[in-house]
Amino acid sequence: MRKIRFAWIAVMAANFVAVVWAQTPRPGDFTISGFRFVDGETLPSLKLHYLTLGEPKRDGSGHVTNAVLILHGTGGSARQFLQPQFHDVVLRSGGLLDPAKYFIILPDDIGHGESSKPSEGLRGHFPHYGYYDMVAAEYRLVTECLHVDHLRLILGTSMGCMHAWMWGEQNPEFMDALMPLACLPEPIAGRNRMWRKMLMDSITNDPKWDHGDYQQQPQEGLTDAIHLLLIAGSAPIQLQEQAPTPDTAEGLLARQVEQRLKTTDANDLLYAVASSRDYDPSSDLERVKAWVMFINSADDFINPPELGIAPRDIQRVKHGRFVLIPASEATHGHGTHTYAAVWQQYLAELLTESER
């Protein structure tokens, strides 16, 4: 009886260790020598930082069957997905993307997080990367560094949403499912392009910017840029609840600007916003073969539903479905993409529909 008890304890301990190991983010760096950008510029050494959770599983032929690529938005990084509103909903033990079952890949894109970026030294002389460069680097990270030859799912938020569409068109056989959150499969135009241009101009028009070779942050231009980011990413219902009086609204604004000025580099922000200039998946949507669950929220300033683009374009995707989440106290404007409790039911449906 004592041997049985000890054996049971040993099994339970091993299971606990396995769960803890799967849930522990493991960082890595992938260095690409002589990376050539689409416009012809090169970097002698491009570093892509990444996190992984879980372990890859392979079938009898050696093909990876459980890899999930999760892509962040402009100005973000892999670590945003470790925040409770995302991690504790879908990446937790027992969640829809439990690392005990899936191999989770979380890259920092070019110009973001701990990957190569302008503020590391080149500043305004850093190559002017675009989305095609970023997706190419993501693909090389997945295939050359992590040796993954197939993805169960690509989930992308904001900029990552746009990259997901590009992955689906450029590598239609590479993944089973796509979940683009908070974007449109069209070139960035209209008001979306205008506010981005205003943001970039606010930085480059500041005399202290000095063509990107500033010794101190161009404070005035960077502050104006942050103002635009706050509007673009705002959630009207949430802000009204947080700041119901003039004084509380102005106080909240001041705190937000002060906090972001401490952590934002003007060149990094300028390059990141400018990188969307080559994005246009609109002509090749029929190439997407993966099952697609495309989701936007109705209070998204950047991708307003009244444009009617999403429900129109999804009709060209063979296995595509579009969901517009109504604005409510649970949504967070453009940032709804990272609040997984709002949309996890649709992720569950996508995983079931796309299961081979």
pLDDT for the residue 190: 97
8 Å CB contact between 165 and 185: yes
What value, to the nearest 5°, has the Cα angle with vertex 272 and ends 346 and 227?
Answer: 85
Please give the domain boundaries of the chain with CATH numbers for all domains.
Answer: 5-187+281-353 (3.40.50.1820), 190-274 (1.10.1740.110)
Beta partners for 166?
none
Cα separation of the two ends of the chain: 44
H/E element, 193: helix 190-204
What pLDDT digit, counting tens, does each position of 115-156 carry? 999 999 999 999 999 999 999 999 999 999 999 999 999 999
pLDDT, residue 23, reads: 82
**By three-state DSSP, how is residue 337 classified?**
helix
Write down the pLDDT at residue 14: 46
Contact 69, 105 (CB under 8 A): yes
- Does residue 47 contact residue 29 with C-beta atoms inside 8 Å? yes
Residue positions counted in the chain: 356
Q: Edge-to-edge strands of the sheet including 67-71?
A: 26-36, 42-53, 103-107, 67-71, 151-157, 175-181, 291-297, 320-325
CB 126 within 8 A of CB 117: yes
- Residue 22 is predicted with a pLDDT of 74
279 touches 162 (CB < 8 A): yes
Amino acid sitting at position 31? T
- Read off φ and ψ for residue 320, nearest 5 degrees: -105, 150
Residue 129 in tokens: 């990367």
Average pLDDT, the chain: 94
pLDDT of residue 2: 62
pLDDT digit of tens for each residue in the chain (356 aa)? 666 665 555 554 445 445 566 789 999 999 999 999 999 999 999 999 999 999 999 999 989 999 999 999 999 999 999 999 999 999 999 999 999 999 999 999 999 999 999 999 999 999 999 999 999 999 999 999 999 999 999 999 999 999 999 999 999 999 999 999 999 999 999 999 999 999 999 999 999 999 999 999 999 999 999 999 999 999 999 999 999 999 999 999 999 999 999 999 999 999 999 999 999 999 999 999 999 999 999 999 999 999 999 999 999 999 999 999 999 999 999 999 999 999 999 999 999 999 96
Instruction: Count CA atoms closer than 13 A to 346's CA, side-chain side.
Output: 23
308 sits in the region (left: phi over 0; alpha: psi -120 to 50; else beta) called left
Put residue 75 in one of left, alpha, beta given phi > 0 → left and psi -120 to 50 → alpha.
left
What letter represents residue 47's amino acid? K
356 vs 341: CA distance, rounded Å: 26
Distance CA 99, CA 101 (A): 5
Distance in angstroms (rounded) separating the CA atoms of residues 320 and 175: 14
In whole angstroms, give the CA distance from residue 346 to residue 155: 12
Buried b (16+ CB within 10 A) or exposed e, 138-151: bbbbbeebbebebb
Cα(43)–Cα(137) distance, integer angstroms: 12
Among 216, 33, 210, which residue's Cα sits nearest to residue 125? 210
Taking the CB of residue 216, how many other CB atoms lie within 10 A of it? 8
Burial class (CB in 10 A: 0-12, 13-18, 19+), 161: buried
Q: Tell me, what's the pLDDT at 351? A: 98
